[in-house]
A and B are shown apart, each in its own frame.
Chain A
Amino acid sequence: MIKAILIFNNHGKPRLSKFYEHYSEDTEQQIIRETFHLVSKRDENVCNFLEGGMLIGGSDYRLIYRHYATLYFVFCVDSSESELGILDLIQVFVETLDKCFENVCELDLIFHVDKVHNILAEMVMGGMVLETNMNEIITQVDSQNKMEKSEQSP
């Protein structure tokens, strides 16, 4: 199970937060800060795994992250997920974003966080991985967007 998915930039500004368990808004912010603190102090050439922070997780959970340019993509998962599998999933997520936004950059995430959520919803649902095939994800996202457009035009 995935407990949370966080995206924040090099300064710790949240760009997307998706918690699959309920926390109060304050705790969520604390978790983001703590995670940023843990992740940001790590060098570039160390491993992508991190034993979870104080607030989120516990011994069964770990943070798996990737750093792309200005953004950190962090998944908090328990031991039922394959660590390397999740790393691949992050890659798929980023590639999908890249396809959907055409050369995605931080600004796309800043201004279209709702769209990012919609894309993520096609990949992960309620903390479980729904789809790992990028083409399938893009097809579903596109046809939903088409539907949205058709509702706006008439």
Chain B
Amino acid sequence: MALKIVKGSIDRMFDKNLQDLVRGIRNHKEDEAKYISTCIDEIKQELKQDNIAVKANAVCKLTYLQMLGYDVSWAAFNIVEVMSSSKFTYKRIGYLAASQCFHESTDVIMLTTNQIRKDLSSPNQYDTGVALTGLSCFVTPDLARDLANDIMTLMSHTKPYIRKKAVLIMYKVFLKYPESLRPAFPRLKEKLEDPDPGVQSAAVNVICELARRNPKNYLSLAPLFFKLMTSSTNNWVLIKIIKLFGALTPLEPRLGKKLIEPLTNLIHSTSAMSLLYECVNTVIAGHDVNGSPFLPPFSLALFLFLRFQLCVQKLRILIEDSDQNLKYLGLLAMSKILKTHPKSVQSHKDLILQCLDDKDESIRLRALDLLYGMVSKKNLMEIVKKLMLHVDKAEGTTYRDELLTKIIDICSQSNYQYITNFEWYISILVELTRLEGTRHGHLIASQMLDVAIRVKAIRVFAVAQMATLLDNAHLMTGNVQRKGICEVLYAAAWICGEFSEHLENPMQTLEAMLRPKVATLPGHIQAVYVQNAAKLFATLLKNQEGNTDRTAAQETSQLMIDRLPLFVQSANLEVQERASCILQLVKYIQKLQQKDVEVAEEVIALFAGELNPVAPKAQKKVPVPEGLDLDAWINEPPSESESEDEQPKAIFAKEEPKHSRARHTEVDEKELAKRREARKQEQANNPFYIKASPSSQKVYQEAPGVEHIPVVQIDLSVPLKVPGLPMSDQYVKLEEERRQKERVEKKKKEKKKRKEKRGGRGKKHDSGPESEEDITPAHMVDIVTEEMPENALPSDDDDKDPNDPHKALDIDLDKPLADSEKLPVRSHRAAEALKSPAEDGDAESPASQEPKKKSSKEKREKKKDKDGDRKVSVKNGNPTRETALWMYIYGDKKSSKHKKKKQKREKEEKEKKKKKKHHHHHHHSDGGGEESVQNGTVEEEEPLPVSVCHQSFTEIDIQGNLQDGSQVVVSVIFENKCDNFLKTMEFNVLDSLNSKLQRPEGSGPHDGLSVPFQLPPGVSNEARFVFTMQSIVMPQKLKGTLTFIIKDSSTHEKLDFKLHFTCSSYLITTPCYSDAFAKLLESGDLKCSSVRLEGVNMPFHHLLARICFHHHFSVVERIDSCASMYSRSIQGHHVCLLVKTSGQTVSIDAKCDEPTLLGNVLDEIKQTFSQC
């Protein structure tokens, strides 16, 4: 009975598929979260089942939950399990889940490399397709490097479905592994002319994406694209190509005129609006170039101009179109023209301003963008006025904020070039502070500061405005919604303080700054308030001491002393510190005042000097002095052991008790003055300090431009607005009047001039054509330029993002490929480097010694490597083909030094009959010397006594077979590198007592196995052979031969090779849960052994990945720099590892029920790491 219930519930659990889950969630609207958490518990149960169907179902549900925002990364390992199912149904579920939730820092990704490689080479095209799709979403630099070669092979797959996917994914591979671009590029280029339109489209897609970032590298492809453009009928491809040409034409002016004809044809013939639009866009780009220094013949230029006009006209039609999409795109295209042809856009100002009233926000934003480039001195005020109207009307803060930033952008662009009246601009800024709920308070504030600092003539006006703002601060702080805007008070307070000498009523402002309400402002603003209150105080003292009545000055001090304690209690450290400092100072001053000492001069000296604006990038531009290395250690860093020793000391030996501050206060005023003087000196000599310019001496003189003090208008009718501020509109009127007057005057003058001198025309003409020039600024404005450090480095790369992945793809693609650039292929480790001397029977042979040396150098840099090669050839005394052969092999290995899942041994022979004898010797010797260490085996092909160049290429992968504890599958890839057809290949191995090649029934123990295919030139294929093993505790070596017939010569040829079965190849990656692992260790029937690796210089996860990868382990648990790993042999031996690392030392403690096997595995691990 109970069993029945359990069974029933299990059944139900299994039954809940994705649809049930969705239905369930919909039925539990009130307690969705609770329902989902029970579902997740069920899923966890399901994932523990062995049944892959159940697991896949669970993963499928997780994918859905991920979309709802649940983190499912905990199931990453199960996803990998489902991915590796042999059934397409489950595999697809697994890959989908992986593509949704894997990313670069998902650590199980490193376990997937082998699986993905297997799927990529699956005979089923959909397995491959699914793997490619998944990989495109989660490819990491490691995966890209390891799989680049496999994907590149797929680019020539027989099925177009695979080809197009492989081509497309190459872009992702390039991004993650830029070194692959050059080797893969020729094939990619080939695919532009693929017979299948889908593949072609994919190749165009990838190249366009690459060329967009680095167009100059792809100029050489222009003819090819040109051909495609005139032949293709696929709109999608055409659009891409036309876009690409848009990027190329600026670089190659001749292209522009070549394109005109086909583009015009397209413009006239196509019915697809999308294509038409892109054509127009590109014609515009083409035109731009022809306006540049590379001016084509005049007639052509004229033609282009007409064309261009047509395009702009066409754009106008687009904008007037009732279809909103075309309107939007028309504006977008206009903004492209604007950069080069502002005038032709300016003539459409009416239309663009009209778009500002559009109901569609996207269109309004586009129009705004255009306005930015359209302003001139003449129309700035008008445009801004229009924008201000929109600000008032705008609903929704996003659009209003956008308007606000645009207004500021427009006004401040190119160093306030278009502003003729800064009073107007300040009042615009002040008006903007009335916006409700804007996020851009700081933007307005920084503009206020910038203008007040850099435009000296405006300070009087600015200070008056800011004082009013401070007085009305309650309007800004009262409302929670207006929080962003209170940033403006920061600027207001600073300006009033810094330029306090211009204040009309400093006492009132001081009081405004010390109101208790100020304490509700954000800390950094309060701090500025306090500091600037002190500046104001200094100015006040100066004014008041001039009077005969001293009480006023004392009252001011009293005010400070009364109000400051509020800030001393502030929770903000900055405020507290400044307030207490200033409070003490004022108290001291008060004491002096009571003694009738004149203090104003000294107090004011505290804030003497003028602050000059510093360019935003100034600090970055300071050149690093010669010989200064900022990365070098000043003192040698303490070693780890040392610091451990010293730590306890530090606890007991406490620092000396600090002297209280009182000590510092003892320093008398004179000393202070002296120090100040010294500091000033030091600052004067220090380029990093903002120096007081000579003009600062005049600070306390009467400021210029008193006549600019405006008549303040009080506007009481609108209570919400800040009262007492002049409206910017007035300035517009004033400005118009002023301009009118100027014009009249100018005319008068001109008339006079004309009367005086008839020949003076030329001069007049200079200022004549553009009325821009006629507009003189209202004030003689001196815009202070921002300071730059002396000898600043002129660099224009400031704006480039160093993290841009496309920077790495800026690669010259026309250079021929160097060997060192080959894609890493799965290859066997450099066997020579690992082979023990005892094994090396032919050590005397010079040919086998050379490679040995070479391989030890493998890791070094290219240059060194080349040198090494040269040495080899010299020593050989025979710099001929054989040495070339060796160089080739080693060059290749170097590029494949990365960790790799499988190994591949590459071997090639190039031979001529003449050297036959020599060769024989040579190859025999190396044949004896080649053994691989890891789970793969080396394959030797002996020289072929053929007159043609002959190369063969083999790859071996040995894998244990789980089904049968004594079987090992060896897959060999044969590649025919010669020019002749190879047939009747036979593979034979000399059996040993322990291991036997499985032969079909009826054949004798020494018969070879025929390879089930023939090899045309340049083709590779894979064959699998099964071996039976008696014991797996020891590594094995088997000798074998491959015989084959070369078709034309019909001679029998023979290649000898050796197969090396490592112990690691008998291990099978088996996941193990930590509880099971713990039980296993506790069981006590495992033998222990350990090994220490020195000088391993790689991150811990790489180290683990390497072990997982080469020796088929899986990580059970990882804690910091310690990890437990597990694997199982095909005969069921458990192997457990505990890997710890500290510094460059790695210690591995291992347990296994078979000590010999364990010893051998550890030796192999040691060898893996001795190579790196």
The answer to whether A129 and B243 touch (CB under 8 A), given A85-B274, A114-B93, is no
Chain A residues in 8 Å Cβ range of B814:
none
Question: Looking at the complex, which of B354-362, B644-652, B1023-1031 is the stretch in contact with chain A?
Answer: B354-362
| Interface hits, A109-132 → B, CB 8 Å | 110-114, 117-118, 121, 125-132
Question: 1/0 per position for B2-45, CB-CB distance to A under 8 A?
Answer: 00000000000000001100110010000000000000000000
The answer to whether the Cβ of A1 comes within 8 Å of any Cβ in the partner chain is: yes
Chain A residues in 8 Å Cβ range of B324:
45-48
Chain A residues in 8 Å Cβ range of B360:
42-43, 46-47
Which of B22, B66, B198, B332 lies in contact with A111, CB distance below 8 A?
B22
Task: Tell me how far the C-beta of A45 lies from the nearest C-beta in chain B, rounded to whole angstroms.
Answer: 7
Task: Tell me how far the C-beta of B102 lies from the nearest C-beta in chain A, rounded to whole angstroms.
Answer: 9
Tell me if B96 and A118 are in contact (CB < 8 A). yes
Task: Tell me how far the C-beta of A41 lies from the nearest C-beta in chain B, rounded to whole angstroms.
Answer: 8
Question: 1/0 per position for A125-154, CB-CB distance to B under 8 A?
Answer: 111111111001000100110011001100
Tell me if A126 and B137 are in contact (CB < 8 A). yes
Chain A residues in 8 Å Cβ range of B278:
82
Chain A residues in 8 Å Cβ range of B168:
125-126, 128, 130
What is the CA–CA distance of A77 and B93 in the complex, to the nearest angstrom?
A: 27
Tell me if A114 and B68 are in contact (CB < 8 A). no
Minimal Cβ-Cβ distance residue in A for B396: A41
Chain B residues in 8 Å Cβ range of A14:
67-68
Task: Tell me how far the C-beta of A8 lies from the nearest C-beta in chain B, rounded to whole angstroms.
Answer: 10
Task: Tell me how far the C-beta of B481 lies from the nearest C-beta in chain A, rounded to whole angstroms.
Answer: 19
Chain A residues in 8 Å Cβ range of B202:
128, 130
Tell me if A125 and B169 are in contact (CB < 8 A). yes
Tell me if B325 and A47 are in contact (CB < 8 A). yes
Main secondary structure of the interface of A (DSSP, over half): mixed
| Interface hits, A32-49 → B, CB 8 Å | 42-43, 45-49
| Interface hits, B324-356 → A, CB 8 Å | 324-325, 327-329, 332
Tell me if A84 and B329 are in contact (CB < 8 A). yes
Tell me if B126 and A25 are in contact (CB < 8 A). no
The answer to whether the Cβ of A98 comes within 8 Å of any Cβ in the partner chain is: no
Chain B residues in 8 Å Cβ range of A82:
239, 243, 274, 277-278
Tell me if B328 and A49 are in contact (CB < 8 A). yes
Task: Tell me how far the C-beta of B723 lies from the nearest C-beta in chain A, rounded to whole angstroms.
Answer: 35
Tell me if A49 and B87 are in contact (CB < 8 A). no
Question: Looking at the complex, which of B114-122, B145-153, B205-213, B667-675 is the stretch in contact with chain A?
Answer: B205-213
The answer to whether the Cβ of A70 comes within 8 Å of any Cβ in the partner chain is: no
Interface size class of A (residues with CB under 8 A): 35 or more
What is the CA–CA distance of A46 and B355 in the complex, to the nearest angstrom?
A: 13
The answer to whether the Cβ of A29 comes within 8 Å of any Cβ in the partner chain is: yes
Tell me if B165 and A49 are in contact (CB < 8 A). no
The answer to whether A42 and B361 touch (CB under 8 A), given A80-B243, A88-B274, is yes
Tell me if B71 and A25 are in contact (CB < 8 A). yes
Tell me if A148 and B89 are in contact (CB < 8 A). yes
Tell me if A148 and B88 are in contact (CB < 8 A). yes
Tell me if A47 and B363 are in contact (CB < 8 A). yes
Task: Tell me how far the C-beta of A1 lies from the nearest C-beta in chain B, rounded to whole angstroms.
Answer: 7
The answer to whether the Cβ of B894 comes within 8 Å of any Cβ in the partner chain is: no
What is the CA–CA distance of A61 and B710 in the complex, to the nearest angstrom?
A: 46
Chain A residues in 8 Å Cβ range of B236:
85, 129, 132
What is the CA–CA distance of A121 and B436 in the complex, to the nearest angstrom?
A: 46
Tell me if B63 and A114 are in contact (CB < 8 A). yes
Minimal Cβ-Cβ distance residue in A for B325: A47
| Interface hits, B503-518 → A, CB 8 Å | none
Chain A residues in 8 Å Cβ range of B293:
none
The answer to whether the Cβ of A28 comes within 8 Å of any Cβ in the partner chain is: yes
The answer to whether the Cβ of A50 comes within 8 Å of any Cβ in the partner chain is: yes
The answer to whether the Cβ of B136 comes within 8 Å of any Cβ in the partner chain is: yes
Tell me if A151 and B89 are in contact (CB < 8 A). yes
What is the CA–CA distance of A124 and B87 in the complex, to the nearest angstrom?
A: 24
Question: 1/0 per position for B50-71, CB-CB distance to A under 8 A?
Answer: 0000000000100110111111
The answer to whether the Cβ of A94 comes within 8 Å of any Cβ in the partner chain is: no
Tell me if A84 and B132 are in contact (CB < 8 A). no
The answer to whether A17 and B212 touch (CB under 8 A), given A47-B327, A84-B329, A114-B60, is no
Which of A16, A51, A128 lies in contact with B365, CB distance below 8 A?
A51
The answer to whether the Cβ of B711 comes within 8 Å of any Cβ in the partner chain is: no
Tell me if A26 and B69 are in contact (CB < 8 A). yes
Chain B residues in 8 Å Cβ range of A42:
360-361
What is the CA–CA distance of A49 and B362 in the complex, to the nearest angstrom?
A: 7
Task: Tell me how far the C-beta of A126 lies from the nearest C-beta in chain B, rounded to whole angstroms.
Answer: 3
The answer to whether the Cβ of B164 comes within 8 Å of any Cβ in the partner chain is: yes
Chain A residues in 8 Å Cβ range of B362:
46-47, 49-51
What is the CA–CA distance of A85 and B277 in the complex, to the nearest angstrom?
A: 10
Question: 1/0 per position for A3-32, CB-CB distance to B under 8 A?
Answer: 000000000001011101010111011000
The answer to whether A117 and B66 touch (CB under 8 A), given A80-B212, A152-B89, is no
Task: Tell me how far the C-beta of A90 lies from the nearest C-beta in chain B, rounded to whole angstroms.
Answer: 12
What is the CA–CA distance of A117 and B88 in the complex, to the nearest angstrom?
A: 15
Task: Tell me how far the C-beta of A70 lies from the nearest C-beta in chain B, rounded to whole angstroms.
Answer: 15
The answer to whether A49 and B212 touch (CB under 8 A), given A25-B70, A80-B243, is no
Chain B residues in 8 Å Cβ range of A112:
18-19
The answer to whether A29 and B96 touch (CB under 8 A), given A125-B136, A130-B164, A140-B161, is no
Most A CB within 10 A of own CB, among B19, B274, B365: B274
Task: Tell me how far the C-beta of A49 lies from the nearest C-beta in chain B, rounded to whole angstroms.
Answer: 5
Which of A28, A84, A151 lies in contact with B325, CB distance below 8 A?
A84
What is the CA–CA distance of A97 and B484 in the complex, to the nearest angstrom?
A: 46
What is the CA–CA distance of A143 and B163 in the complex, to the nearest angstrom?
A: 18
The answer to whether the Cβ of A83 comes within 8 Å of any Cβ in the partner chain is: yes
The answer to whether the Cβ of B1007 comes within 8 Å of any Cβ in the partner chain is: no
Tell me if B359 and A43 are in contact (CB < 8 A). yes
Minimal Cβ-Cβ distance residue in B for A63: B362
What is the CA–CA distance of A82 and B239 in the complex, to the nearest angstrom?
A: 7
Task: Tell me how far the C-beta of A110 lies from the nearest C-beta in chain B, rounded to whole angstroms.
Answer: 6
Tell me if B63 and A28 are in contact (CB < 8 A). no
What is the CA–CA distance of A17 and B26 in the complex, to the nearest angstrom?
A: 19
The answer to whether the Cβ of A87 comes within 8 Å of any Cβ in the partner chain is: yes
The answer to whether the Cβ of B103 comes within 8 Å of any Cβ in the partner chain is: yes
The answer to whether A85 and B89 touch (CB under 8 A), given A47-B324, A125-B165, is no
Tell me if B274 and A47 are in contact (CB < 8 A). no
The answer to whether the Cβ of B182 comes within 8 Å of any Cβ in the partner chain is: no
| Interface hits, B910-927 → A, CB 8 Å | none
What is the CA–CA distance of A51 and B929 in the complex, to the nearest angstrom?
A: 65
The answer to whether A25 and B239 touch (CB under 8 A), given A80-B212, A111-B18, is no
Chain A residues in 8 Å Cβ range of B359:
43, 46
Chain B residues in 8 Å Cβ range of A18:
100
Task: Tell me how far the C-beta of B976 lies from the nearest C-beta in chain A, rounded to whole angstroms.
Answer: 33
Minimal Cβ-Cβ distance residue in A for B92: A118
Tell me if A126 and B172 are in contact (CB < 8 A). yes
The answer to whether the Cβ of B133 comes within 8 Å of any Cβ in the partner chain is: yes
What is the CA–CA distance of A83 and B326 in the complex, to the nearest angstrom?
A: 10
| Interface hits, B93-144 → A, CB 8 Å | 93, 96, 100, 103-104, 124, 126, 129, 132-133, 136-137, 139
Chain A residues in 8 Å Cβ range of B363:
46-47
Chain B residues in 8 Å Cβ range of A143:
126
Tell me if A80 and B67 are in contact (CB < 8 A). no
Chain A residues in 8 Å Cβ range of B124:
147
The answer to whether A147 and B88 touch (CB under 8 A), given A80-B243, A131-B164, is yes
Tell me if A117 and B96 are in contact (CB < 8 A). yes
Chain B residues in 8 Å Cβ range of A144:
88, 92, 126
Known: A14-B67, A50-B362, A111-B23. 5 other contacts (CB 8 A): A24-B71, A85-B236, A111-B19, A114-B64, A130-B198
30 A-B residue pairings within 8 Å (CB atoms): A14-B67, A14-B68, A17-B67, A20-B137, A22-B104, A25-B66, A46-B362, A47-B362, A49-B328, A49-B362, A82-B239, A82-B243, A83-B328, A85-B236, A85-B239, A112-B18, A114-B60, A114-B64, A114-B93, A117-B63, A117-B96, A125-B136, A126-B136, A126-B168, A128-B206, A128-B209, A130-B168, A131-B198, A148-B92, A151-B89
CB-based closest 5 A-B pairs? A126-B136, A84-B274, A47-B324, A22-B103, A46-B360
